[in-house]
Amino acid sequence: MNLREQYEQLEEKILSPLATLSKNTKGRIKKEEKCKVRTDFQRDRDRIIHSKAFRRLKHKTQVFIAPEGDHYRTRLTHTLEVAQIARTIARAIRLNEDLTEAIALGHDLGHTPFGHTGEDALNKISSTGFKHNEHSLRVVDYLEKEKGLNLTHEVRDGILCHSGELIPQTNEGKVVKLADKIAYINHDIDDAVRAGILTVEDLPKECIKVLGKGHSERINKMITAVIEHALKYGEIKLTGEVGEATWELRQFMFDNVYIASEAKKEEDKAKNLIKELFIHYMDNPNSMPKEYYDKIDIYGLERTVLDYVAGMTDRYAIHEFTKIFIPMPWQIKF
């Protein structure tokens, strides 16, 4: 018996009936020989961490576009916070931590430059529409390493269903979906206070009374509520008094930070930048890198342009826009 098989047996002994066992995975799109050391979900986690799309998250917007300061969240730090919260919940109710972590680390791989602002711009300008969760799945299925990462069904499902009305098939996926919201509600408050957009006193008093005034206190209240509900009822939900306060606080953030705040005034510029890049590459496809231009025959022009623009980091998108549209002083060569 190899190490993977030993670990699969251990999962059977220690995990809850609510958990997804590695040995029971529905498999991969393309069959491949199993690893002798790692379970399938551990292998998926490693593939995501070593992907280029994962590394690019460090230069993609979370909420505030190109903030001046080292302590504001990026899409990468958001992803890591989601993974930490999700693993805490998964461990407490004895779900599969490896599956939970893999989904969490991969859930935002398809995010555009400038976060939801870029997503909205591509969604409006493309004939097919654009959703970051669907593109995250496309990244792991087709774009990474030219042929995709060939992840398991359970990880792919969790990535696709982490946002919107879709419901993940596994409890691990449901945990990540909740952890995503817990993470961004709290760390976006933290960033908004740091930026001077909010003060703690601005937060809804009834929510703070239930959840707590401090950042870690609020996160702990939400995580504990999810764990207690799961242990009592066998389902992954954030309900009751803590749930009501959480969703009210989330709405407050939409009304006062995500949609209407001083820090969002650059969004129209970002949307225009994304739209102009999209139009340019549609009209001049040969100006894309060869690795993308060569895929036009496979995926079609519009899909390839979407893949290229969506994969950009904030700073690379700004660099390309500057190179294409901003006139540079002519220099005399001596």
Both tokens assigned to 149 = 């990462």
Tokens 């066998």 found at = 234
Residue with tokens 């510029």: 269
Q: Indicate where the chain has its CATH 1.10.3210.10 domain(s).
A: 37-264
> Directed axis angle between helix 267-283 and helix 314-325, to 10°?
60
What amino acid occupies position 267? E
96 token code pair: 């599969």
What pLDDT does residue 263 have?
Answer: 61
Name the H helices within the chain: 3-14, 40-49, 52-56, 75-92, 97-106, 115-125, 132-138, 153-160, 171-194, 205-211, 215-233, 240-253, 267-283, 290-293, 296-299, 301-310, 314-325
Residue of 91, 116, 92 lying closest to 188 (CA atoms) = 116
User: What pLDDT does 260 receive?
Assistant: 61
Residue 263's contacts (CB-CB under 8 Å, 6 or more residues apart) are 63, 64, 65, 67, 192, 195, 197, 257
DSSP characters over 41-107: HHHHHHHHHTSHHHHHGGGSBSSSSS-SSSSS-BHHHHHHHHHHHHHHHHHHTT--HHHHHHHHHHT
Place of tokens 């460090």: 58
Amino acid 72: pLDDT: 82
Q: For residue 67, what pLDDT is reported? A: 61
Interatomic CA distance for residues 121 and 114, integer angstroms: 10
Q: Are 107 and 100 in contact (CB under 8 A)?
A: no
pLDDT at 262: 67
Euclidean distance between the first and final Cα of the chain, in Å?
72
Contact 105, 309 (CB under 8 A): no
As a whole number of Å, the CA-based R_g of the chain is 21
- The reported pLDDT for the residue numbered 277 is 98
Domain 37-264 homologous superfamily, CATH: Hypothetical protein af1432 (1.10.3210.10)
Residue labelled with tokens 């972590």: 101
The pTM (predicted TM-score) of the whole model is 0.95
DSSP, collapsed to helix, strand or coil, labels residue 238 as coil
> Mean pLDDT for each consecutive 10-residue tract of the chain (334 residues)?
96 98 97 97 98 96 72 91 98 98 98 94 97 98 95 98 96 98 94 88 95 95 98 97 97 85 77 97 98 96 98 96 89 69
50 vs 47, 56, 85, 89, 149, CA distance in Å? 5, 11, 21, 25, 10
**Chain-centroid distance, C-alpha 81:** 11
